Amino acid sequence: MIKASRKGIVGNGIETIKNLANPLSSKNYRGSVIFAVEPTNDQRKTLEDICPTKALFSIKENNAMGLDNGKCITCGYCSEAASKTIEISNKPAIPVNVKSQMIGYSGPQTLSSEKSYEQIGNALKEKIQKMFGRSLAIRQVDAGSCNGCEIEIAALNNPIYDIERFGIHFVASPRHADVLLVTGPASRNMEIALLRTYEATPGPKIVIAVGACACSGGIFGDTYATTGGIDKVVPVDVYIPGCPPRPEILLQGLLLAVNKMKLE
C-alpha cells in the first residue's frame, strides 16, 4: 500500500515549483484597469455612468480621470464601453498600506513589479524568521463576503501554493493570531463579532482588508445592511484590492503587513 501511495504522489510530479516558476496570471486574466489614452470629456461622463461601483471618477480641475482600485471589481464594463481608451491588463492591482494609494490616475502608469509567488514567499519567509523566530499566525474573518475571497484564501493552503512552507499558518482562534485577514463589506450583523475578534487578538496585531468589498464595500456598497468597508469598524493596516484577489497578491499583502509590523 505504501508503494502505491508513493507512486500516487510521485505520479503527480512536483506541482509547486513547476507551476509557479513563471510569474502570475494567464493572458486572459481580467486584472487592473489601465488608461491607454487620456479619456475625452464625453468619455469620462460615459465611463462614470457605466462603472457599477463608482471606481472610475473624473477630476474636474485637470480634466483627468481617476480609478480607485479599492472599489474596482474588474467587471470590464468600462473597457467594453471605451475599448480604445481603457485596457484591462492581466496584472492584478497591488496591495497598499494607505487607502489613497489604491487610486490611480490617467496618464503615465506605474506597473506593479513582477515577482513570482516563490520570490514573494521567500522574502516573506526571511522576514518572518528574523522577526518572530518562527512563524506568522493568521486568523481569517469573513465579515459578509460572497465566499469568493475565501476560495482564494483557502487556495493558499493547497499543495501548490502551500503557504505553510514560508512559515505562515492559519489558526483557529484570534487569541493565537498575529494577523487578521478580513473579507466582506462588514455586514451590520457581523459588525460586533468582527470588533470582538479584533479585541481578542493580542497586540501587536495587523488587520488586512481582503478584496474590493473589504476595502470599500465593493458592489454591496454602503447600505442599511453593510458598513461599506472594514475600516469603518476596525483600523486597517493593509488593503488588498481585487474581486477576488489572486493567491500571490494575498501573499504580497502579507509581506507588506510584516514589513509594517514593529515589535512594540
Partner 1 sequence: MNNANLENYAKEIAAKFSNKIAKVSQNNDELHLNVKLDDMPKICDYIYKNLNARLATIICSDERKNAAGFVIRYVFEKGDVFIFVIVSTGQGFSFPSIVSHIPAATLYEREIKDMFGLIPVGNPDVRPLVLHEHWPDGIFPLRKEFELETKAKRQDKEYPFLRVQGEGICEIPVGPVHAGIIEPGHFRFSVLGENIVNLETRLFYTHKGIEKLAESMRLDEALLLSERISGDESVANSSAFCQAIEKIARVEIPRRAKKIRTVFGELERIYNHVGTLAGMSTDTSFPFGAARLNILKERLMRLNESLSGSRILFGVNRIGGVRCDITDENKKLILETLSEISDDFGKVTLLLKSKSSFMDRLRGTGAIPKKIAYDLGTVGIVARCVGIDIDARRDHPYGSYYLHNHKTPQELIQHQIEMEKRTGDALARFEIRVDEVQDSFEIIRESLDLENDSLLTSVPEHLEPFRSSLGWAESHRGQTLHWVMIGENNSIFRYKIRTASFCNWPVVGQAVLNDIVPDFPLVNKSLDLSYSGNDL
Binding stretches for partner 1 (CB under 8 A): 5, 8-9, 11-12, 15, 25-30, 52, 73-77, 140-155, 157-161, 170, 172-174, 184-185, 187-190, 192-193, 197, 219-226, 243-244, 246
Q: What 8-state DSSP symbol labels residue 227?
A: -
Cβ of residue 62: shortest distance to partner 1, in angstroms?
Answer: 29
Cell numbers for 44: 469620462
Under 8 Å CB-to-CB from 100, ≥6 apart: which residues?
A: none
Q: Which is nearer to partner 1, 39 or 144 (CB)?
A: 144
Amino acid letter, residue 58 = S
Q: Which of 221, 198, 223, 218 is nearest to 208 (CA)?
A: 198
Under 8 Å CB-to-CB from 233, ≥6 apart: which residues?
A: 143, 186, 191, 194, 195, 198, 227
Cβ of residue 80: shortest distance to partner 1, in angstroms?
Answer: 9
Q: Which is nearer to partner 1, 74 or 85 (CB)?
A: 74
Cβ of residue 182: shortest distance to partner 1, in angstroms?
Answer: 10
Q: Which is nearer to partner 1, 3 or 60 (CB)?
A: 3
- Report d(CA 237, CA 228) in Å as an integer: 17
Strand partners, 67: 56, 104
- Report d(CA 92, CA 33) in Å as an integer: 9
Q: Which is nearer to partner 1, 87 or 150 (CB)?
A: 150
Cβ of residue 46: shortest distance to partner 1, in angstroms?
Answer: 14
Cβ of residue 88: shortest distance to partner 1, in angstroms?
Answer: 8
Cβ of residue 89: shortest distance to partner 1, in angstroms?
Answer: 11
Amino acid letter, residue 189 = N
Q: Which is nearer to partner 1, 18 or 98 (CB)?
A: 18
Cβ of residue 214: shortest distance to partner 1, in angstroms?
Answer: 13
Cell numbers for 10: 510521485
Under 8 Å CB-to-CB from 147, ≥6 apart: which residues?
A: none
Q: Which is nearer to partner 1, 27 or 60 (CB)?
A: 27
Q: Which is nearer to partner 1, 107 or 202 (CB)?
A: 202
Sign of CA dihedral 105, 186, 240, 130: positive
**Contact (CB, 8 A) for 93 and 32:** yes
